[in-house]
Amino acid sequence: MTQDPFQPEIGASEARQLEETIQLVSETRRRFPRGGFRKLDSLEIEVLLAIAHLGDCLPGEIASALRLEQNTVSDPIRSLTERRLVSVRPDRTDRRRRVVRLRKAGRSLVISFLRERAT
């Protein structure tokens, strides 16, 4: 189910940086103010980064990657969908399951976040 949504836009070093960033955001979630990055809170950024890292994925996979309960990622996924940063569609093999995919705008935002964090 997973694929690398960044090929050829970012390489292996950026993918490692993405993993490190997920960890960093996770560790600093409480100190990250709402609107801290383009009006996204820390959990929304964390979920967006996880989707970028995982590729097409299920909400449960996002929750597992972030070490959260699945219901904790539901609101951020809904918010990111409303902002058109991710899309959600039924799984091809099991229509009861939802697959989350990073959209072009979401990919651009992740790249901007990584670049700003690197400076």
Higher pLDDT, 12 or 90: 90
Task: Specify if 2 maps to a domain.
Answer: no
**98: CATH:** 1.10.10.10
Q: pLDDT tens for residues 58-117?
A: 999 999 988 899 999 999 999 999 999 999 999 999 989 999 999 999 999 999 888 887
In angstroms, the CA 41 to CA 23 distance is 15
What is the DSSP code string of 84-117? TSEEEEE-SS-TTSEEEEE-HHHHHHHHHHHHHH
Give the model's confidence band at 6: pLDDT under 50 very low, under 70 low, under 90 confident, else very high.
very low
Task: Specify if 6 maps to a domain.
Answer: no
Task: Specify if 95 maps to a domain.
Answer: yes
What pLDDT was estimated at residue 67?
A: 86
In angstroms, the CA 17 to CA 3 distance is 17
What pTM was estimated for this model as a whole?
0.74
Task: Specify if 28 maps to a domain.
Answer: yes
Task: Specify if 3 maps to a domain.
Answer: no
Q: Which two tokens stand for residue 69?
A: 């309960």
Task: Specify if 38 maps to a domain.
Answer: yes
Structural domain count of the chain: 1
What pLDDT was estimated at residue 42?
A: 83
Range of the domain at 57: 12-118
Task: Specify if 1 maps to a domain.
Answer: no
What pLDDT was estimated at residue 39?
A: 85
Q: pLDDT tens for residues 27-37?
A: 655 555 555 78
What is the number of alpha carbons within 13 Å of residue 64 lying toward its C-beta?
Answer: 6
